[in-house]
Amino acid sequence: MTEITHRTASGVKFYQVGSLAVGNRLLPREQRAAQADPQRANTMISGHRACQGCGEVLGARYVLDAAMRATEGKLVVVNATGCLEVVSTPFPESAWRVPWLHSLFGNAPAVASGVAAALKAQGHEEIRVLGQAGDGGTVDIGMGVLSGMCERNDDVLFVCYDNEAYMNTGVQRSGATPAAARTATTPVAPGHPGNRFGQGKDVPAIAMAHRIPYVATASVADLRDLEAKVERAMQFTGARYLHVLVPCPLGWAAPSSQTIRLARLATQCGLFPLFEAEHGELVSVTPIRQQVPVDEYLRAQGRFAHLFADQAAGGRPDLVARIQAEADRNIRVYGLGGQP
């Protein structure tokens, strides 16, 4: 997938500062982005109610159009409760141009398994199933059924749009909320600098532990890479898991204009590694091109403002250092340090 992103068929490398985007016109047609195709499925159409700069909706649009291209339109989508569902289907309107089912907050992986089972029973295995949820619907309340889906190797691509909190209900902490982040349920108070430092819940690693055919992480900062991973995922049958980092301007307390930049900083500082794994083994990582300190990523978001406030007292460099240590660990463990 890095191939597709960085090179043309002629093998020439293209770089743009701060971005890995390559002009589509320089690529052969079949390598161009799904979004570049005027005939693309346009699976999630405009008119939905997402906030300006919503990373989740951007991610979903790219994921689904790529999945539609990969399956030649033979796709069924199951959606958990959460922002993506609420903004897209206020009755009687719908932003979806794909068979789409919303059941509950915590059961999207199981519902998707049910759709896949039905299609199998009907002999329609050419129709593929994609389940999608926010981080809450995936790493917390949907964890049991997601694990079941993976363990049975049901033919579902499950996509988690991780904006690192329960956004739909007003930015409460989830199991994917990073340490020190301020949320509505981890408010900043004396002696309480936002979310607690824990061991984290690494769901891509948990998915890998099920040895399912394909696991990948992606981000809305590199949309071509995201598309490529969806396309790759669709080449496998069985359970597949894609974890996409999708900044939320509201929850992260950052301007709408900063969504892509924040997503990029998250990977460039090492906090959100981009990788692919097949059958439980890492097969590729996206190296960091220009490493930045976590400081730069954290400072750009209001949810971490308390780490830098009260300059007289020096803010909380100790906590920033702990977060930097987490990033350094990722860089070490995933080998993100090399040049591309």
Partner 1 sequence: MAATELSPHRGAAPEPAGRAVEGSRAVAETVARCRPQVVPAYPISPQTHIVEALSALTRTGELESCQFVNVESEFGAMSLCIGASAAGSRTYTATSSQGLLFMSEALFNAAGLGLPIVLTVANRAVGAPINIWNDQSDSFSQRDSGWIQLYARDNQDACDLHPLAFRLAEELSVPVMVCMDGFVLTHAVERIAVPEQRIVDAFLPPYAPRQVLDPGAPLSIGAMVGPEAFTEVRFIAHGRMQQALVRFPELAQRYGKLVGRPAVELARGYRLEGARTVFVALGSVLGTLEDVVDEARADGMPVGAVELTCFRPFPAERLRTLLAGAENVVVIERAFSTGAAGIVTPELIAALAEPPAVSARSFTVIAGLGGRPITKKALRMLVHDAVAGRVARFSFLGLDRDLLARAGYGRASDDPPGSTAERLLSRLRAPESPR
Considering the rule CB under 8 A, would residue 104 count as an interface residue with partner 1?
yes
Q: Which is nearer to ligand SF4, 275 or 297 (CB)?
A: 297
Considering the rule CB under 6 A, would residue 158 count as an interface residue with ligand TPP?
no
Q: Which does 151 bind (CB under 5 to 8 A by kind): Mg ion, ligand TPP, partner 1, none?
A: partner 1
Find, among 81, 77, 84, 98, the residue nearest to 49 by Cα.
Answer: 84
Q: Which does 135 bind (CB under 5 to 8 A by kind): ligand SF4, partner 1, Mg ion, none?
A: Mg ion
Element (H, E) at 130: strand 128-134
Considering the rule CB under 6 A, would residue 51 count as an interface residue with ligand SF4?
yes
Considering the rule CB under 6 A, would residue 134 count as an interface residue with ligand TPP?
yes
From 31-39, 116-124, 186-194, 245-253, give the range in contact with partner 1 by CB under 8 A.
Answer: 116-124
From 50-58, 107-115, 179-187, 314-322, give the range in contact with ligand SF4 by CB under 6 A.
Answer: 50-58
**Inter-residue contact 214 to 278 (CB < 8 Å):** yes
Q: 149-188: which residues touch partner 1 (CB under 8 A)?
A: 151-152
**Inter-residue contact 172 to 166 (CB < 8 Å):** yes
Candidates 31, 163, 195, 324: give the one binding Mg ion (CB under 5 A): 163
Q: Are strands 275-278 and 281-285 parallel, antiparallel or unpaired?
A: antiparallel
b/e per residue 91-124 (b: at least 16 CB within 10 A):
eeeebbebebbbbebbbbbbbbbbbbeebeeeee
* Residues 49-88, mask of contacts with ligand TPP (x by CB under 6 A): -------x------------------------xxxx----
Least distance CB 154 / partner 1 (angstroms)? 8
Identify the burial level of 295 via C-beta atoms within 10 angstroms of its C-beta, where 0-12 means exposed, 13-18 middle and 19 or more buried. Answer: middle
Least distance CB 60 / ligand SF4 (angstroms)? 10
Identify the burial level of 268 via C-beta atoms within 10 angstroms of its C-beta, where 0-12 means exposed, 13-18 middle and 19 or more buried. Answer: buried
Considering the rule CB under 8 A, would residue 300 count as an interface residue with partner 1?
no
Q: Which is nearer to ligand SF4, 186 or 286 (CB)?
A: 186
From 58-66, 200-208, 246-254, 294-302, give the range in contact with ligand SF4 by CB under 6 A.
Answer: 246-254
Find, among 231, 223, 229, 292, the residue nearest to 259 by Cα.
Answer: 223
Largest CA distance in the chain: 68
Least distance CB 166 / ligand TPP (angstroms)? 4
| CA-derived radius of gyration, the chain | 19
Find, among 56, 31, 45, 38, the residue nearest to 228 by Cα.
Answer: 31
Considering the rule CB under 6 A, would residue 136 count as an interface residue with ligand TPP?
yes
Find, among 322, 328, 336, the residue nearest to 178 by Cα.
Answer: 322
Candidates 136, 142, 193, 249: give the one binding ligand SF4 (CB under 6 A): 249
* Residues 133-152, mask of contacts with partner 1 (x by CB under 8 A): -----------xx-xx--xx
Could you give the CA distance from residue 66 to residue 31 in angstroms, rounded to a whole number? 12
Binding site for partner 1 (CB under 8 A): 73-76, 78-79, 85-86, 89-92, 94, 96-104, 106-107, 110-123, 127, 144-145, 147-148, 151-152
